[in-house]
Structure formats: structure tokens, C-alpha cells
Amino acid sequence: MKAFDFLKRQIEIARVYGIPVRVDYRWFFVFAASVWLIAPAFMSATRFYAQTGTGAAIVLSFVTSAMLFLSIFGHELAHALAARYEGIDTLEIVLHPFGGLARLGHAPETAGAEFRIAIAGPAASFLFSIIAAGVWFVVRAGGFRTTAAVFFILGLWNLLVAFFNLLPGYPLDGGRVLRAGLWQATGNLAEATRVSSLGGQLLAWSLMVTGGYAAFYLQLWAVGLWTIVVGFFLRDAAASVMRESGFLSSGGRTVADVMRPPLSIEPETLVSTFVDSILPAQRRTAIPVARGGSLHGILTLEDLRRVPREAWHKTLARDVMRPVAEGLFVPPSTQLAVAEELMRRNGAGALGVVDGGGRLVGFLQSTLTKK
């Protein structure tokens, strides 16, 4: 195992409505940083609250940070519940250093479903903001000014999260709303995805430029560098979505034009190793299982849900995978429209790409996460 690979591992902290809720280890560093950044604010008097001691400031900062991240979870849970209403299972909710995501069992099949699932997250954040503002007003009127400050931060944070997520760039919720609108108006999912992904890349570059200005000109190093990192994250995600969406448009294109590199796991790979060490670094809901370049099957997160967590350390990929069969692989020359139809029907939402010699040369899958 490479140094620091353990930071990419995930641990399950709860199950809500049957949905596993996981965090990766890097999240704890971000939480600690949040406590460290917020605590000094409570140690200086302002017109909103009185000065507190160091111990009280740390406690208040810890509580505030916990409530902030709980609201991020609520944002993702709103996506998951909206997806359930549309008949789509959520495989897991993951909290990571840049926020959270809900991995869906399959992509929405209509523009209306896409819109309702996408808008649920920002709507929840707006609701949290309104509730926090109401509590702030009541406790401040009662003279509890320091407690009011906690809810002021919480309300402002959720308002910013809602507005940020509504920016029209994929894979943000606003990008998905834009895609749903274009999809509904034109009936062309591929073009809608392309336009919203371009919006995401433009937004990402804007964030990186803004972060650079804040860091090097305004000397706001923490804010600026964090904004740059978020910009890089969004840029990569938007570019990945654009690549993955290529299969939705035929126009003479083939699987070879858009397939991913053939990253795979061995049949003897433990499920615990896959979940802890491989999955956190990959934007995937399925992965090929292969040995020596020969495809043995496809392992999906949906299939992993049937394996109790306590059995992960003794369950092998070959025991859970969907064995290689017609409908789970195609040659590189396959038309994209054909590949799309196969992914809709095979239950895995993915395909191995196998050349004439039977070697795994690529991989395709749908984009199934909600930011």
C-alpha cells in the first residue's frame, strides 16, 4: 500500500433509511480545520456575541462545525429521498473533503426525474437556512447572543451552499437542473450534458482564477487556496462527465472513442480492499474484474449492498461479481447507441470493452452520482 493511501479509505458511520453513510478519513482533517478556523471568531467580542474563553470557543466551534457537516449530509439525504420517490435506490452517501455525494443505483430516465432529484438538495439547504434564521431570531431576542451566533453561521452557510450548488455547471445541482431543462426542451440528452458540462468547466476555471486572486493579491491564503482546490475538483468532475456522456450520442462514434482505461481488480480481491482502498479514489459504481487482461465479470456497488459489512473482509470479488456473459461486454467498434441500450438492459449500467483477442481494453459506465 502506498504512503497515505489509508486516507482514501472510508468508514461507515450510520445507516439512514437503509442507506449506508460513509466518510473518508480525509474528512476528519477538514472537520478539524473547520474547528480551528471558527474557534478564534468566538474568542473576540463582536456586536453579535460576547467574547468567550478558549475552552468555550473550542466547544462552540466544534458544535458549529458538526452542525455544518450535518447540514451537508441533509443536503445529500434530500437527493437520496427524492431519488427513492422516483424509484431509484441510493447505494450510499459519502462525505468527503469537498462536501458529499449520493451514489444512485441508476441514472434518472426522464428530464422531470433528473430535475426533481437535482433540486431537492438546494431546496433542503434553503430550508435549513430558513430554520436556522428563525432560531437565530428567537434566541437573539431572548438575549442568548453567543448561541445566536452559532445559528447565524449555520444559516449563512446553508444559504451559500444552496446558491453555490445552483450555479449552472455540471456536476453541481444547478448544472443538473440546466441539463434537465435542456433535455426537456430539446429531447437530446447528449447535447444537454455537453452544454452543462461546459458550464461546469467554465465555473471551475472561474473559481481557480478567483482563488488565485484571493490568495496572492488579497493575501487570503486559506480561502484562496481552498477555492483553487475546489476549482480543480470541479474541473476534473466536469471533464469526466463530458467523457462519460459521449456514449449518449451516436453520430457515427464508437465505444473506442469514449471508453475509459481498463482499470480492473483481480477476482481474489477482498471486498473490504476494494471499498477501502480503490473505490474512494474512483468515480465509479462498477468495476471490471479481470486477470491477465481477461475479463471475468463486473462488480457493482448495487451487488455489494447484499453483502453484510462484517463479511467484507472474507468475501472475494469473484463471489459477488456478475460473471462475464453476453450483454456485459462489447468490442471497441460497437456503435455508442448500441452500447447505451446494453447498459440500460444489463442491470450493471456498465460494459467491459474487449478486443478481438479477448483482452480487456476499456470500460464504460453511466454517471450515477449526485453532488
Same domain, 86 and 186: yes
Same domain, 269 and 304: yes
Same domain, 190 and 76: yes
Choose among 99, 122, 125, 102: nearest CA to 30.
99
Question: Whole domain around residue 145: which residue ranges?
Answer: 5-248
What are 7-66's pLDDT values in tens digits?
456 788 888 988 889 887 788 888 888 888 888 777 765 544 555 677 788 888 899 999
What are 85-100's pLDDT values in tens digits?
998 888 889 887 777 8
Same domain, 241 and 260: no
Same domain, 225 and 267: no
What are 130-162's pLDDT values in tens digits?
999 999 999 988 888 788 888 988 999 999 999
Same domain, 168 and 306: no
Same domain, 203 and 334: no
Using the 3D structure, point to which of 248, 264, 284 is the last residue of a domain. Answer: 248
Give CA 285 to chain center in angstroms. Answer: 11
Same domain, 116 and 100: yes
Using the 3D structure, point to which of 213, 248, 283 is the last residue of a domain. Answer: 248
Same domain, 190 and 276: no
- Which strands form 360-365's sheet, in the order they lie side by side? 329-330, 350-354, 360-365
Task: Enumerate residues 6+ apart whose C-beta is below 8 A from 274.
Answer: 265, 287, 299, 317
Number of domains in the chain: 2
Confidence grade of residue 173 (pLDDT, cut at 50, 70, 90) = very high
Using the 3D structure, point to which of 216, 248, 280 is the last residue of a domain. Answer: 248
Residues in the chain: 371
Same domain, 160 and 212: yes
> Which residue blocks in 172-290 are alpha helix, DSSP H?
173-186, 189-216, 221-244, 255-258, 271-273
Same domain, 316 and 352: yes
